[in-house]
Amino acid sequence: MIVAEQKSLEEIRRIIAPYEKVLLLGCGTCVTVCGAGGEREVAFLNSALRVAQAKSDDGVHNFSEYTVKRQCDFEFLDVLVDKVNEVDTILSLGCGIGVQVVAERFPDIPILPGVNTSFMGMAKEWGVWDERCAACGDCRLAETAGICPITRCTKGILNGPCAGTKNGKCEANKDMDCAWILIYKRLERLHQLEKMRRYYPPRNFRVIPRPRRIVMKADIEQGEDNG
C-alpha cells in the first residue's frame, strides 16, 4: 500500500493561491487507507481551508470536493469531465501517481499535489504507518528471512549488521529496531543461519533504466494466425 501524508495547510494555501475555483480531489484507494486523501480527509481539508479563508484576507477561493475510487487509472476519472470545466485547478490528494494520471487525463488544467507520497508500507496499528518496501526491483527477501534491509536498515546495507547496532536497536534512532538483528533472529528461528554467513555483493543500480515499465502482454505479430 502506498502511504502518503497530507501537505501542510500553509503549503496547500500557497500553491492554490493563484486559483479561484479549486476542486479538492480525493482518491478512494491507498490514500484513503492511510488517512491522507480519502473522502474524510478531503472534507476536513475543505473545512480547514474555509476557516483559513474566513480568518485571513488573502484571496477568495471557491472550493468543491469529490473523491474518485482510484486516481491512477484514466477510466475512474471520466466522471470528472464536467466538473473539470468548472474549476481553475485540481488539488489532487492522490499519491504522486494519481496526480500525474489526472494531469495526463486533463491536459488543459493545472493539477496540484495535496499530499506528499511517502513510502510503501503497512499500518502498524491504527494511525501508525511503517515503510516496508523500496520498490528496488530486485527482491532479496528470500535471503533475509522476509525482512527487507533496504528499507528497514537505516543504511540499507546488504551485509549487516553494522557496528552501530546496540541492544538490538539502530544507532541512528534508539527506538528503531536494527533490521539486521531482526533478520538474524528470524533466520535463527527458521534454522537458516547459514544465510547470514554468505556475502551479498553490492547491487548495480545503474542497470535499472528509469522510468521503469513492465509489459505483461505478449507481443503478438499481426497476421500470424493464418496457418
Residues that bind another protein (CB under 8 A): 8-10, 28-29, 32-33, 35, 38-41, 43-44, 47-48, 50-52, 54-56, 67, 69, 123, 125-126
Of the pair 28, 110, the CB lying nearest another protein is at 28
Q: How far is the CB of 179 from another protein (least distance, A)?
A: 25
Q: How far is the CB of 32 from another protein (least distance, A)?
A: 4
Q: Is the preceding omega at residue 161 within 30 degrees of 0, hence cis?
A: yes
With beta carbons less than 8 A apart as the criterion, state whether 158 and 149 touch: yes
Q: How far is the CB of 28 from another protein (least distance, A)?
A: 6
Half-sphere exposure for 72 (CA within 13 Å, toward CB): 9
Bridge partners of 25, per DSSP, are 66, 92
Of the pair 8, 192, the CB lying nearest another protein is at 8
Of the pair 8, 159, the CB lying nearest another protein is at 8
The residue ranges of DSSP E strands in the chain, in sequence order, are: 2-6, 21-27, 62-68, 89-92, 111-113, 115-125, 128-133, 169-170, 173-177
Of the pair 63, 184, the CB lying nearest another protein is at 63
Of the pair 7, 105, the CB lying nearest another protein is at 7
3-state secondary structure of 12: helix
Distances in Å between the Cα of 33 and the Cα atoms of 30, 61, 171, 226 are 5, 28, 31, 50
Q: How far is the CB of 146 from another protein (least distance, A)?
A: 21
Residue type, 149: P
Q: How far is the CB of 60 from another protein (least distance, A)?
A: 14
* CB atoms closer than 10 angstroms to residue 223: 6
Q: How far is the CB of 112 from another protein (least distance, A)?
A: 17
Q: How far is the CB of 20 from another protein (least distance, A)?
A: 18
* CB atoms closer than 10 angstroms to residue 25: 29
Of the pair 123, 176, the CB lying nearest another protein is at 123
Of the pair 10, 194, the CB lying nearest another protein is at 10
* CB atoms closer than 10 angstroms to residue 135: 10
- Angle, vertex CA 155, rays to CA 124 and CA 193, nearest 5: 75
